[in-house]
Amino acid sequence: MKINLNRVFLNLLRLGCLLALVVIILGAYVRLSDAGLGCPDWPGCYGKLIVPEGSISQVEEMNLAYPERLFEKDKAWKEMLHRYLASTLGFLILMMATLTWLKPQFLSARLFSSILLVLVMFQGLLGMWTVTLLLKPVVVMLHLLGGLTILSLLYWKMLRQQSFGGFFVSESNIELLPIVVSALFILFCQISLGGWTSSNYAALACPDFPTCQNMWWPEMNFKEGFTLWQGLGIDYEGGVLNSEARTAIHMTHRIGAIITGVIISYVSFRAILTNAKYLRLTGVVVLILLITQLSLGVANIKFNLPPSIAVAHNGVAALLLLSLITLLHHCVSKKNNIL
């Protein structure tokens, strides 16, 4: 039986998208449950590739080897599950790259697969540095952005491949292209701010809403709050910034949410008011996801950052990004196969 390699490639892209999304959401859960250093070494866990069973003798041995990070089995498994799935995604991307370089019919996809392979290798390094540099905020933030970039590229290529196959075809609305690109840039900046807020443990710097510490403009230290490099040898778990610096980060994220909300709302309404079927549908999805995301942000504050809502906030951010990429797909001509 002849294998349809185009179908294989498309299915690898679909599986890659799903796996990348799961890895991002699981990564948020690991971070928010304080399990980012559940395994203090890399790539193994207390010197093992599989989390140790945790017998009394093993625990004593591990605690002696890593006295600064005592063994907690639940946290170790969360961290290692994230690493296993991330490694699986890396292998999947390697398969795609190999396929595009071995088969002449995928000549146009070689640049895409090569970029993706380089990105996933760098993402692996960021994962290692996240552990070895003790949750350094700038590394944690870059790790998040790297994961979202990989997800976005996989999703973009999947949309383009499907469009060439006659499914969910691009509607080539070039008129909306500038504002969609602008919205994507603004959202990426806002997600970066969210990553910086989370990695500096500033999500609860303002425990009330819409005010912050019962004030509209509390005391803040922007210089310290946005100093990207704080030095080496510091354990950042729990955060190291003072209250004024964390408040500055939190308030910047809030202001960014307002700006992002206005811009994406405008883009979604513009899409809804077009005559193109897929653009209208995607515009509705964008608006629903935006409202959901803003509501989850407020709920995080009102309910004191419960893990379920905090993880959902990360997941919906990723979905909102993908919905804007879908709009971008419908703005670009079917013949214009970027990457």
- Tell me which residues are annotated as active site: 79
Three-state DSSP at 46 gives coil
Question: Distance between CA atoms of 263 and 223, rounded to whole angstroms?
Answer: 27
For residue 294 the two structure tokens come to 């803003």
Q: Which residues of 210-239 are buried (b: 16+ CB within 10 A; e: fewer)?
A: eebbeeeebebbeeebeeeeeeeeeebeee
Residue 105: count other Cβ atoms within 10 Å of its Cβ.
Answer: 11
Query: Phi-psi region for residue 254, left (φ > 0), alpha (ψ -120 to 50) or beta?
Result: alpha
Q: Is the dihedral of CA 215, 217, 223, 225 positive or negative?
A: positive
142 backbone dihedrals φ, ψ, rounded to 5°: -65, -35
Q: Where are the alpha helices (DSSP H) in the chain?
A: 5-32, 56-65, 73-102, 110-132, 137-164, 177-199, 222-225, 243-272, 277-302, 307-331
248 by Cβ neighbours in 10 Å (0-12 / 13-18 / 19+) ranks as buried
Nearest alpha carbon to residue 63 among 76, 79, 81, 78: 76
* Cα–Cα separations (whole angstroms), residue 121 to 9, 16, 145, 171: 20, 15, 14, 34
Strand partners, 212: 215
